[in-house]
Amino acid sequence: MAHVDWQIQGPELSTCNCDWGCPCQFNARPTQGHCRAAVGMRIDRGHFGDVQLDGLHWISLLAWPGAIHEGDGEVLAIVDERADQRQRDAILTILAGEETEPGATIFNVLAATLATVHKPQFLPVEFEVDLESRSGRFAVPGVVEARSEPIRNPVTGEPHYARLVLPHGFEYTEAEFASSTTKASGLIAHDWTQSHGHFAMLHLTPNGPVR
Amino acid sequence: MAYVDWLLKGPKIASCNCDYGCPCEFNGRPTRGVCEGLEAQRIEEGYFGDLRLDGLVVGARYRWPGPVHEGGGVAQGFIDERASEDQRAALLKILGGQEQEPTTVFNIYGSTIAKELDPVFAPIEFACDIPARTGRLVVQDVMEMTIEPIRNPVTGLPHHAIIRLPEGFEFREAEVASGTFSGEGAELGFRNRDCYAALTYVAYGPYGIVT
């Protein structure tokens, strides 16, 4: 099927309530039986048809009562308030998994598991990541703040470098694992410290990640 | 310090009772609190000083009451019965953490072991196909393990995931898979289905992983 030509490319910071090394990345069940997540991305280069998306951010707050694939989840998308109407529509279309081959992107896969899609919000987004040091942060003042830092060895206190490669992944091909601390209030409330986080350079299109 | 020069190089398979993606690889806590499992390596190329070790299979099974680094573990080595007296003595020295830096895998795990059972010398069947993510181990009359690909819980397709630990002391890169294993014994008997397994090709020497 023909889709609108689009791509988004840039750093992503994903945080969730699982222990370090989120079992879901391996098709195991979430550490605490249910999945909650806060994900943010800066689009360094992106377009949707003739709409340019460079420099814009998006954030998704997500929650499921069990494992993601068991469904019944909810999502709140927050799009950079600097986006104009066409850019907002474009980003929300991508995040909804539309204009995408079935199963090709994480957005399309997750869409099938979401029972509630809250009305999107358009707010200022703060986003800074340093993939080299696995440190980063994104925030929407008053709604969410997610921070990430290296995992520490429990004995030596040294940073623990761990990478996951998913050659057929629908989100990333390679991600750096980290430790996250996230708080969110409002429609989807989050609160965790020293949980799973990962950094990846996303490059997604209607046909999935560019490898 | 000067050590006897030695090498253990070849494919290695391991499984434990954690969920897929064992949190311990990321410094998380074991999925079920207790950590138990086994590992084995076929020595494609190996020596201890002048003594060749090629073709032998060596391994260990273990149990800790909590995360490995909290100690209190029980372990038992097993060695191919085809090994000569000299080869057995050499392999037991290596497994015991002698003739190597304190930062090697045998020493780091060794420092968490409170009780070591007498080693098993038995016929050992060993198979490892890293690209296919399949493996098999039979230590005659004592324990066995089967490794196969993880399956996607929705599509049933194999899930391909590779963990990279750039500074790892046990492996630098491992294919993640699904393990089922069982073993006899009063202290280290176990039975686990469809849990974490890893396949890697690795070389160890007196200073740790040889790259």
Asked whether residue B3 carries a pLDDT value surpassing 90, the answer given is yes
Residue A61 confidence (pLDDT): 98
Inter-chain contact B28–A20, Cβ cutoff 8 Å? yes
A152 forms bridges with which residues in the sheet?
Answer: A159
**Contact assessment for residue B119 and residue B78, using Cβ atoms and an 8 Å cutoff:** yes
The per-residue pLDDT of chain A, averaged, comes to 97
Q: How confident is the model over B157-198, as pLDDT tens digits?
A: 999 999 999 999 999 999 999 999 999 999 999 999 999 999
- The model's pTM: 0.95
Residue A1 confidence (pLDDT): 66
Q: How confident is the model over B113-125, as pLDDT tens digits?
A: 999 999 999 999 9
Tell me the CA distances in angstroms from B176 to B135, B161, B198, one per residue in order. Answer: 12, 6, 5
Q: Between A154 and B197, whose confidence is greater?
A: B197
Q: How far is B56 from chain A (nearest CA, A)?
A: 31
Mutation target to probe the B interface, by most B beta carbons within 10 A, among A68, A131, A156, A165 is: A165
- B131 in A contact zone (CB under 8 Å): no
Alpha helices in A51-194 (DSSP H): 85-95, 106-111
A195 forms bridges with which residues in the sheet?
Answer: A180
SS3 B30: coil
Residue B75: pLDDT band (50, 70, 90) is very high
Residue B109: pLDDT band (50, 70, 90) is very high
Residue A67 confidence (pLDDT): 97
Tell me the CA distances in angstroms from A178 to A20, A137, B167, one per residue in order. Answer: 7, 12, 15
Mean pLDDT of B36-61: 98
Residue A134: pLDDT band (50, 70, 90) is confident
How do A114-117 and A73-80 pair as beta strands? parallel
Mean pLDDT of A174-187: 97
**Contact assessment for residue B56 and residue B44, using Cβ atoms and an 8 Å cutoff:** no
Asked whether residue A45 carries a pLDDT value surpassing 70, the answer given is yes
Q: How confident is the model over B54-65, as pLDDT tens digits?
A: 999 999 999 999
Instruction: Give me the residue spans of the domains in chain A.
Output: 6-209
CA-nearest residue of chain A to B177? A26
Mean pLDDT of A100-116: 97
Asked whether residue B138 carries a pLDDT value surpassing 80, the answer given is yes
Inter-chain contact B150–A26, Cβ cutoff 8 Å? yes
The per-residue pLDDT of chain B, averaged, comes to 96
| Range of lowest pLDDT (A133-137, B4-8, B139-143) | A133-137
Inter-chain contact A163–B153, Cβ cutoff 8 Å? no
SS3 A166: coil
**Contact assessment for residue B41 and residue B11, using Cβ atoms and an 8 Å cutoff:** yes
Instruction: Give me the residue spans of the domains in chain B.
Output: 6-209
- B159 in A contact zone (CB under 8 Å): yes
Residue B1 confidence (pLDDT): 67
**Contact assessment for residue A26 and residue B176, using Cβ atoms and an 8 Å cutoff:** yes
Select from A74, A19, A10 the least CA-distant residue to A197: A19
Residue A131 confidence (pLDDT): 85
Inter-chain contact B27–A152, Cβ cutoff 8 Å? yes
Provide the ipTM: 0.93
The number of CA neighbours under 13 Å toward the Cβ of B185 is 23
